[in-house]
Structure 1
Amino acid sequence: MKNIFLQAICFSLCILFFYAASMKALEFGQFMTDIAKSPLLANIPPALTGASTILAEVAAAMMLALPATRKAGLYLSAFLMLSFTAYMSILYFFYENIPCSCGGILGTMGYPAHIVFNTAFTLLAITGILLHHFSLSYPSTKTTVR
């Protein structure tokens, strides 16, 4: 049962990261414009921030899709989601009129909804890490009858 939940979590995160990266890549000009307006990223070239964000999202999705790299993918996912949640929260609570640089349907969410959404996926990634850890550390106690 743990394995089914773990696979569902990895699949959900994989879809989220592929979707987010695709939307940012498809709307790259707008993504770069929005990043350039961020006071938190003012000292970082937008092209570097934009490209590294897309690459990190694609890397997380690919790592989650492969069983051999799933654990690292879960850790990267948790880090990315925690970072995105903190970034969105800081912009929402300390700045005004900063556009969301997320593309697609995610970009249409208001900041409060987006923060809740990101928090939920952060918790999902952490749950995946815990499930992965416990499913490997504690083998099943079921016995086979021959």
Structure 2
Amino acid sequence: MKAFFTAPDISGLCHKCSIDLNKDFAPLQHSLVIISSVSMKRDYIIYTIEALLCLLFTYAAISKLLKYHLFRLQLGKSPFITSIAGPIALILPVIELLTVALIVFSTTRLLGFYAALFLMTLFTSYIFAMLHFSYYIPCVCGGLLSKMDWDQHLIFNIVFTVIALVGVMLESMNRLIPEYQKEQAIKTGVI
């Protein structure tokens, strides 16, 4: 992976003002190399988070769509959303796939991470409410997630909520650091 910002070659003397660039700008060059290295590690973490969230939401949406009638029937048994189970059964897989599409493209990734965080917070809150306030707990998850009990599912959702939150934080930092690097380069006269 190519670093976004590499330290400029500042060897020798400045022809205009006779400043020793090696001595005067060496700390800046060193800090830019460190920032570039940290940025690359951050990018790998972001790509891992992107892959995990895309896999989760794609799998969940496809499972719901392939067994739509069963998903709608089980959702209708939920004591909290019985009256709106039909629209939710249609809209939820579409929103999950739209979230995947937002995450995949770098220009919309931050928005996608926010959407994933919102969905995971919503799903986690729903499971918590079901565990603590419901007399009946229907199984509305498909595929492998249906093999988990509700407590395991709550922990799974909390983990993915944290993953989405870390994605939001790191992607936000990625958008701020290039601007910071540019400002520092301008202030020190490198650019």
Equivalent position to 2:56, from 10, 13, 16: 16
- Write out per-residue CA displacement over residues 105-129 of structure 1, whole angstroms, 9 at most, x where no aligned residue: 0112100000000000000000000
- For 1:131, the aligned partner's letter is L
- Write out per-residue CA displacement over residues 77-122 of structure 1, whole angstroms, 9 at most, x where no aligned residue: 0000000000011001111331121100011210000000000000
Q: Tell me, which stretches of 5 or more residues in structure 1 are unaligned?
A: none
* Residue 106 (structure 2) aligns with: 67
Secondary structure of the structure 2 residue equivalent to 1:67? coil
Mapped partners of 2:108, 2:159: distance in 1:
23
Which of 62-71 and 119-128 deviates more? 62-71
Secondary structure of the structure 1 residue equivalent to 2:71? helix
Instruction: State the TM-score, normalized to the length of structure 1.
Output: 0.91
Equivalent position to 2:97, from 58, 69, 73: 58
Q: Does 1:43 find its partner at 2:83? A: yes
* Residue 17 (structure 2) aligns with: none
- Write out per-residue CA displacement over residues 118-143 of structure 1, whole angstroms, 9 at most, x where no aligned residue: 000000000000001112112386x9
The count of aligned residue pairs is 141
* Maintained 8 Å contact 2:49/2:167: yes
* Maintained 8 Å contact 2:78/2:136: no
Secondary structure of the structure 1 residue equivalent to 2:138? coil
- For 1:24, the aligned partner's letter is K
* Residue 136 (structure 2) aligns with: 97
* Maintained 8 Å contact 2:58/2:96: yes
- For 2:58, the aligned partner's letter is F
Q: CA RMSD in A?
A: 1.4
Mapped partners of 2:138, 2:79: distance in 1:
11
Instruction: State the TM-score, normalized to the length of structure 2.
Output: 0.71
Note the C-alpha offset of 1:43: 2.7
- Write out per-residue CA displacement over residues 9-44 of structure 1, whole angstroms, 9 at most, x where no aligned residue: 011000000000010111111101110001110231
Mapped partners of 1:16, 1:128: distance in 2:
14
Mapped partners of 2:78, 2:92: distance in 1:
14
- Percent sequence identity over aligned pairs: 31
Aligned positions of 1:105-124 closer than 5 A: 105-124=144-163
Q: Tell me, which stretches of 5 or more residues in structure 2 are unaligned?
A: 1-40, 186-191
Structure with more contact order per residue of length (Cα contacts < 8 Å, sep ≥ 6): 1
